[in-house]
Structures are given as structure tokens and as C-alpha cells.
Structure 1
Amino acid sequence: MDSKEKTLALIEQALDTVRPYLQADGGDVKLIEMTEDRTVVLELLGSCQSCPMSMMTFKAGLEESIRKAVPDINRVVAQNVPSLA
């Protein structure tokens, strides 16, 4: 397993810690990619796409979990939520 694969696995593990809370409200998150400049691109799914709390969930839940697992990530964005891209 190379360095990028290890990093992606750590990101998935971080997302797995938050997923049960998202799924309890009819939502979920999908890891789309990690770019060369170490930007993590996510897609919010289900009710998370239109939830008024999605910004808070994204910043306090998803982004914080990813940054704890992989501190050298530069950015975390959601491709399908304009205010989070």
C-alpha cells in the first residue's frame, strides 16, 4: 500500500466515525478524491445535501475528523454544496 492509499484509508476511517450520525438523519458522505495539492473532495449524500445544518456538520464533524486523522491535508471541500466548495 503506497502513501496515497494509506492516506485515503485514514480519511475513510475518519469519515466512518461520523457516518452513523449522518445516516441517522437520512444522509451520508462519499470520498471522491484527494488531489495532488492534498485537497480532500467529498460529496454529501441524501438529506445532507440540503440540510440547513450541513455547514456546521461539515466543518465540526467531517473536516475536523479528517484533519485529526491526516493533519497535513490542505483543504476539505464538498463538490455538491456550493457554500462548501
Structure 2
Amino acid sequence: MDQEIERVLDEYVRPLLHSHGGDIEVLEFTADGLLRFRLRGQCAGCPAADLTTEELIHTELTQRLPQVKKAVLVREVSPDLLEQARNILRNHHV
């Protein structure tokens, strides 16, 4: 199932996310059909993340893979975003 999820993401979701400087990382897929994921890059923490989740990610996955019942965004600060912030702070205090 993991390969099927990645295939759908690669074909239908990631191209749009990449065009905005972002990506998606699957965190967990449970036996009851719950897919937990995190947005990465520029999409992490984006104000439109909820809309992206509902309109793009959830829709594509549930329509193309009946095993996926729900796709849920896990909101946490991504390591990429933390590193970007650290670099900005380091450069600002030089």
C-alpha cells in the first residue's frame, strides 16, 4: 500500500506542492484507513495548508485509493523550517 500512496502523491499531489516550494511526507497509514502526513518546505505552516489538505491531498488520495478513508495534516514545525529559521537568525546576528 505504501507504494500505491507514493505513486498517487508523485503523480497528482507533489507536482503542485513542488511548484510552491513544498512537499509532503507520509508519517503513518493505519489499518483503518487513516493517513497522517506533514507538509514540508514552503508548504509547512502555510496559511492555505488546510485548503491544500482538503481540496488536493485528501481528495486525490481518497478518490484514487479506496483504502484511504481520511488524510490528516499533522501540524508541527518541520525540521526544514526550523533550519531555515536558524540560518536567518545566524545571518542576522553576524
* Coarse TM-score class (shorter-chain normalised): 0.7 to 0.9
Number of positions where the alignment pairs a residue of Structure 1 with one of Structure 2: 75
Preserved contact between residue 11 and residue 69 of structure 1 (Cα < 8 Å): no
For 2:50 and 2:74, the matched residues in 1 are separated by 13
1:9 alignment counterpart: 3
- Is 1:57 matched with 2:52? yes
Q: 1:80 aligns with which of 75, 79, 93?
A: 75
Percent sequence identity is: 29
Moved over 3 A (4+): none
Q: Whose radius of gyration is greater, 1 or 2?
A: 2
For 1:68 and 1:62, the matched residues in 2 are separated by 10
Residues 29-57 of structure 1 deviation map (CA, whole Å, 9 limit, x = unaligned): 01112112221111110111221111111
Q: TM-score, normalised by structure 2?
A: 0.70
User: 1:48 is paired with a residue of what secondary structure?
Assistant: coil
The unaligned stretches of length 5 or more in structure 1 are 1-6
For 1:63 and 1:75, the matched residues in 2 are separated by 7
Superposition RMSD on alpha carbons, in Å?
1.5
Query: Which protein has greater RCO, CA pairs closer than 8 Å, 6+ apart?
Result: 1
For 1:9 and 1:68, the matched residues in 2 are separated by 16
For 2:38 and 2:73, the matched residues in 1 are separated by 5
Q: TM-score, normalised by structure 1?
A: 0.76
